[in-house]
Amino acid sequence: MAIYNPKSMHAEEFINDEEILETLKYAEDNKNNVELIDSILEKARPRRIGSETHCAGLTHREASVLLACEIPEKTEQMYELAREIKLAFYGNRIVMFAPLYLSNYCVNGCLYCPYHAKNKHIARKKLTQDEVRREVIALQDMGHKRLAIESGEDPVNNPIEYILECINTIYSIKHKNGAIRRVNVNIAATTVEEYRMLKDAGIGTYILFQETYHKKSYLEQHPTGPKHDYDYHTEAMDRAMAGGIDDVGLGVLFGLEMYKYEFAGLLMHAEHLEAVHGVGPHTISVPRVKHADDIDPDVFDNGISDELFEKLIACIRIAVPYTGMIISTRENQSVREKVLGLGISQISGGSRTSVGGYCEEERPHDSEQFDVSDQRTLDEVVNWLMKLGYIPSFCTACYREGRTGDRFMSLCKSGQILNCCHPNALMTLAEYLADYASEDTRRVGYELIENELKKIPKDKVREIATQNIEAIKTSNSRDFRF
Which residues would be at the binding site for ligand SAM (CB under 6 A)?
112-113, 150, 152-153, 186-188, 208-209, 211, 227, 253, 287, 289-290, 292, 295, 330, 369-370
Closest by alpha carbon to 250, among 203, 206, 310, 300? Answer: 206
**Distance between CA 314 and CA 263 in Å, rounded?**
12
CB of 433 to ligand SAM, least distance (A): 31
**Nearer of residues 187 and 418 to ligand SAM, judged by Cβ:** 187
Closest by CA to 11, choosing from 182, 218, 245, is: 218
Helix, strand, coil share (%) of the chain residues, nearest 5: 50, 10, 40
* Residue 117 CA neighbour count, 13 Å, CB half: 13
- Pick the closer one to ligand SAM by CB: 292 or 315: 292
Between residues 260 and 330, which has the closer beta carbon with respect to ligand SAM?
330
CB atoms under 10 Å from CB of 429, counted, come to: 29
Q: Where are the alpha helices (H) located in 91-144, listed in sequence order? A: 129-142
In sequence order, the 6+-apart residues with CB closer than 8 A to the CB of 76 are none
CB nearer to ligand SAM: give 62 or 238.
238
Helix axes 459-474, 417-435, angle to 10 degrees: 10
Of 411, 384, 408, whose CA–CA distance to 182 is shortest?
408
Question: Smallest distance from the beta carbon of 212 to ligand SAM, in angstroms?
Answer: 10
Given the complex with ligand SAM, which of 241 and 289 has the nearer CB atom? 289
Distance from C-alpha of 419 to C-alpha of 91, rounded to nearest angstrom: 11
The minimum distance between CB 175 and ligand SAM, in angstroms, equals 25
Neighbours of 56 (CB within 10 A): 13
Between 255 and 324, CB nearer to ligand SAM: 255
The CA distance from 238 to 248, in Å, is 10
| Geometric angle at alpha carbon 97, from 319 and 250, rounded to 5° | 35
- For ligand SAM, the closer of residues 81 and 312 by Cβ is 312
Nearer to ligand SAM, 229 or 406 (CB): 229
Shortest CB 216 distance to ligand SAM, Å: 18
Residue 54, strand partner residues: 47
The Cα 425–Cα 391 span in angstroms is 7
Query: What's the one-letter identity of residue 150?
Result: E
The distance of Cα 71 from the centroid of its chain, to the nearest Å, equals 29
Residue 456 Cβ, how far from ligand SAM at the closest point, in Å?
37
State the nearest-atom distance from the C-beta of 370 to ligand SAM, in Å.
4
Angle (nearest 5°) at CA 339 between 335 and 341:
135
Least distance CB 241 / ligand SAM (angstroms): 17
- In whole angstroms, what separates CA 35 from the centre of its chain? 34
Residue with Cβ nearer ligand SAM (339 or 472): 339
- The helix-helix angle for 306-319 and 259-277 (nearest 10°) equals 20
CB 234 within 8 A of CB 15: yes
In the complex with ligand SAM, the residue whose CB is nearer, 163 or 208, is 208
